[in-house]
Amino acid sequence: MTHWLTFVVIAYLIGSIPFGVILGWIKGVDVRAHGSKNIGATNVGRVLGRGFGIVCFILDFLKGALPVLLAGTFMGTLGREVQMIQASEMWWWLGVMLMTVLGHMYSIFLGFRGGKGVATGFGAMVGMYPLLTFAAMGAIVVWYVSLRLFKYVSLASILAVLSLPLGYLLSVLPQQAFDQPWADTLARLRYALPPLLVTAALAALVIYKHRGNIRRLRSGEEPRVDGITRRGAVTGM
């Protein structure tokens, strides 16, 4: 328990690193004062340029993945199937994942404010191999396809997180539902319940953080992805 608690604290601190703000400082710009005033990759791309936005996405993704990978490796949960992980271990590992996202959303270094947690959340779930890796990769595909179709990063992010619980069920159900008697399937599904609950809660939290975007989408005021320039411009954002 002490080791798990240590990883939970580490996950929150690493998740709290505001890479978007740091990249803005490099350019002499406070991204919190421009555009949507968010510290995530989308606003960084709008304010500082597409290259900085991509770097911010990668860094936010990695700060989600690394604490989860480290905890899973050290505590022996990495690489184990859902039914092979004890319930207590699973909840602790999910706690590490969740704390990276909460660190990004409510950073201790920014007065408990932060971003919307999409890139960090995807990274954290990809790091939970194989528990949530395939669901997260499916959600990334949903995000990309939605972005190409609708041209709104916020809408793509909302659809992607909504796909997570379903994607997780699809990743664990086939071998349980079709290769096992129904009684065994139902018994095994209880092992799948904690990740299902956490992915649903995470989806709800991310959508809550996008409530301003949802209002702008409904009013037709949400900026489209075409507005992200290559060189970046602070004025008008």
Q: Is residue 180 part of a domain?
A: yes
Residue 235: its pLDDT value, please? 30
Q: Is residue 219 part of a domain?
A: yes
Q: Provide φ and ψ at 90, rounded to 5°.
A: -65, -45
Q: Is residue 131 part of a domain?
A: yes
Give the tokens for residue 14.
């690493």
Q: Is residue 235 part of a domain?
A: no
84: containing domain:
2-226
Q: Is residue 65 part of a domain?
A: yes
Q: Is residue 232 part of a domain?
A: no
Structural contact between residues 15 and 64, judged by C-beta atoms closer than 8 angstroms: yes
Q: pLDDT by residue (tens digit) across 47-63?
A: 999 999 999 999 999 99
Say how far apart CA 23 and CA 25 lie, in whole Å. 5
Structural contact between residues 214 and 158, judged by C-beta atoms closer than 8 angstroms: yes
Count CB neighbours of 159 within 10 A.
18
Instruction: Say what the pTM is.
Output: 0.88
The gap from C-alpha 153 to its chain's centroid, in whole angstroms, comes to: 14
Q: pLDDT by residue (tens digit) across 154-179?
A: 999 999 999 999 998 888 765 544 45
Q: Is residue 211 part of a domain?
A: yes
The total of structural domains in the chain comes to 1
Give the tokens for residue 12.
């929150």
Say how far apart CA 23 and CA 79 lie, in whole Å. 34
Say how far apart CA 153 and CA 147 lie, in whole Å. 6
